[in-house]
Structure 1
Amino acid sequence: MEDKSDSLEELGYRVRFDLKDGGSILLDATNGNVEIEEDGTGEAEADTVLILTSDNLEKLVEGKLNPMLAFSTGRLKVRGSQGVALKLAGLLEEAS
């Protein structure tokens, strides 16, 4: 995901990835910067929380998993703003 951080600068939101197989990652694209860090507590404040496995996150970031397909088949769950999730999906597709 860090390789695509330049294309994510225009996101303008905080997104937390809660990984079903353990761990949490916070993507903070506010203030024109992109910071990606592990969130050990899984409680960092975010505009949107995406819940998926680390394997599906990797596929999503690499463009090997369509976000809409993942959502409709239950491999990806969204809490919070679905608009932010759609914007993130669009930016990831552009960066692929």
Structure 2
Amino acid sequence: MSEANAVFDDMVSRFDADQADGMDAIFQFNMEEGASYYVTIDDGECTLGEGDHDDPTVTLEMDLDTLKSVMTGELDGMAAFMQGKIRAEGDIMLATKLTQIFPQ
């Protein structure tokens, strides 16, 4: 299993269905190292897919270190976005909820 797979598996294992109540969204993650993953949240369920989704709600581009730092709380996601470490397209406000949906 790659390091990216491990990070995404860990993230999905922390999914908080209460925080995602009523959410229907697809988060596309394009990693600068070349891998792509997407997380689908629908009806209180969270699933992980590898590759590119054809219709993501929000697309986030970053390197693996940035993702790990944001998901562990070492780096604030909005700060990373403002510093240019994360690039986002689509429903950017949805991206701000990542640490609520996948708490530490």
Query: Do Structure 1 and Structure 2 share a fold, with TM-score over 0.5?
Result: yes
Query: Within 5 A, what are the aligned runs for 1:2-81?
Result: 2-7=12-17, 10=20, 11-39=23-51, 42-81=52-91
2:95 is paired with a residue of what secondary structure?
helix
> TM-score, with normalisation over the residues of structure 1?
0.81
Overall identity of the aligned pairs, in %? 22
1:60 CA drift (Å): 1.3
Q: Is 1:88 aligned to residue 91 of structure 2?
A: no
**Which structure 1 segments of 5+ residues have no match?**
none
Residue by residue over 1:42-91, the C-alpha shift from the partner in whole angstroms, topping out at 9 and shown as x without a partner, is: 34321000110012111111111110110011000110011211222443
How large is the RMSD of aligned CA atoms in angstroms? 1.9
1:27 is paired with a residue of what secondary structure?
strand
> TM-score, with normalisation over the residues of structure 2?
0.76
**Which structure 2 segments of 5+ residues have no match?**
1-10
